[in-house]
Amino acid sequence: MTAVSSSTHRPVISATGLFTPEQSITNEELVDSFNRFVDRENEIHADEIAGGAREPLTHSSVGFIEKASGIKARHVMTKEPVLDPQTMSPRWPERGNDELSLMAEIGVAAARQALERAGREPGDVDAVLCAASNMERPYPAMAIEIQQALGIDGFGFDMNVACSSATFGIQTAADYIRAGNARSVLVCSPEITSGHLNWRDRDSHFIFGDVATAVLVEDAAIAPEAHWDILGTKLKTVFSNNIRNNFGFLNRASPEGEGQADKLFVQEGRKVFKEVVPMVAEMILEEAERLSLDPAALRRLWLHQANAGMNRLIAQRVLGHEASEDESPTVLDTYGNTSSAGSIIAFHLHSEELEPGDTGLICSFGAGYSAGTVFVRKAA
Ligand code: COA
């Protein structure tokens, strides 16, 4: 760690990075594959269906997906197996222990871009947090593998707060800066959501996409001139079963449940919508008041990217009027829901043109429930 004497203990965002997988699936492609799967299943079970012993599966629809969620396409690490009605899951060869694992690989790609944009050498970074909604394995930590691949001295650890992992990571990193325990912390969020999405579930098969983001949180003393001051961070959790994934290391103790739908992402989407919108809007307004910020004067909201309707309602309650695309940019139309990475993608893609002094909000919400706010102001 570099000398603490030249620290301000004021955390800032020095730069962000983004890795976007090359392949993308449109709603049309997704629904076509899903409906072929449905037809095949119904054909296989035609006798049971005719005898009333089984309910037929129902087609998905492009119109429903776009209207209910705003999602038009999503990026994935592997497209072909996901769209193959016989597979409907990602596929790639297992990697050996001496090869970089896939989550680390895309985390490193995003991290490199953040470091490059900040003009920061990996050797100057003190810590790496891998903050994501699923980890490829329990240990060694993905963060330590990313740390090693980048050549960073110091420490790293994984943290999982589902869709709010990145904002919880930013507050954790900011707290290290505030306490003087670090001056440069990388928060990586590699989200390979295609691995925990049930591509055979009509209610949710359209939701997620794969991506990786990185946020470099640093002490203002060492930050590049063009950075974002962190004005305040706030976290909140409230237990809910409405978004759940029961996959875990104890599954093998209950073999009767192995392979069941609850070992992948499941949700009560409508309940989530209804309960999370007021919770998050209230949290943002309370935090703005604590920071003596006028919510109506926020220049831009980089909201969690799960549902365009949720964002419309939250932005309206915060700003006091219907938000324009300029005030609350959407990335879920082409990225889908990328879990914790969503608000960071929005910030990464839609922050450069803002003016020094402009104030905005990065905000996440999702499973747990969990929510996080990071109020930021452009420095230069
Ligand atoms: N194609 C066509 N119709 C579908 C469908 C599909 N893929 N999936 C569901 N439907 C149907 C349902 O069967 C239901 O039909 P019914 O009215 O005849 O019973 C109807 O559409 C409405 O379903 P519902 O699940 O209530 O839709 P919704 O309007 O709540 O939209 C979500 C679903 C998931 C898009 C929405 O609830 C959502 O985004 N919620 C928030 C999710 C969230 O933020 N989660 C956090 C995850 S990190």
Question: Which atom of ligand 1 is nearest the CA belonging to 337?
Answer: 48
- C-alpha 39/C-alpha 37 separation (Å) is 6
CA of 324 to the centre of ligand 1 (A): 25
Pocket test for ligand 1, best of 37, 55, 64 (most atoms within 8 A of CB): 64
- What's the pLDDT at 5? 54
**What single-letter DSSP state applies at residue 18?**
E
pLDDT tens across the length of the chain (380 residues): 444 458 999 999 999 999 999 999 999 999 999 999 999 999 999 999 999 999 999 999 999 999 999 999 999 999 999 999 999 999 999 999 999 999 999 999 999 999 999 999 999 999 999 999 999 999 999 999 999 999 999 999 999 999 999 999 999 999 999 999 999 999 999 999 999 999 999 999 999 999 999 999 999 999 999 999 999 999 999 999 999 999 999 999 999 999 999 999 999 999 999 999 999 999 999 999 999 999 999 999 999 999 999 999 999 999 999 999 999 999 999 999 999 999 999 999 999 999 999 999 999 999 999 999 999 999 98
List the residue whose alpha carbon is closest to atom 48 of ligand 1. 366
Q: What are residue 185's phi and psi, to 5 degrees?
A: -130, 130
List the residue whose alpha carbon is closest to atom 21 of ligand 1. 64
CA of 120 to the centre of ligand 1 (A): 44
Residues with CB under 6 A from ligand 1: 60-61, 64-65, 68-69, 163, 202-203, 243, 267, 269-270, 272-273, 306-307, 310, 337, 339, 366-367
- C-alpha 369/C-alpha 162 separation (Å) is 9
DSSP run (H or E) holding 169: helix 165-179
CA of 160 to the centre of ligand 1 (A): 26
Cα four-point dihedral sign 89, 59, 73, 186: negative
Question: Which atom of ligand 1 is nearest the CA belonging to 272?
Answer: 41
CA of 297 to the centre of ligand 1 (A): 33
- Burial profile 260-278: b = 16 or more Cβ within 10 angstroms, e = fewer: eeebbbbbebeebbeebbe
Pocket test for ligand 1, best of 270, 279, 332 (most atoms within 8 A of CB): 270
List the residue whose alpha carbon is closest to atom 33 of ligand 1. 269
Active-site positions read: 163
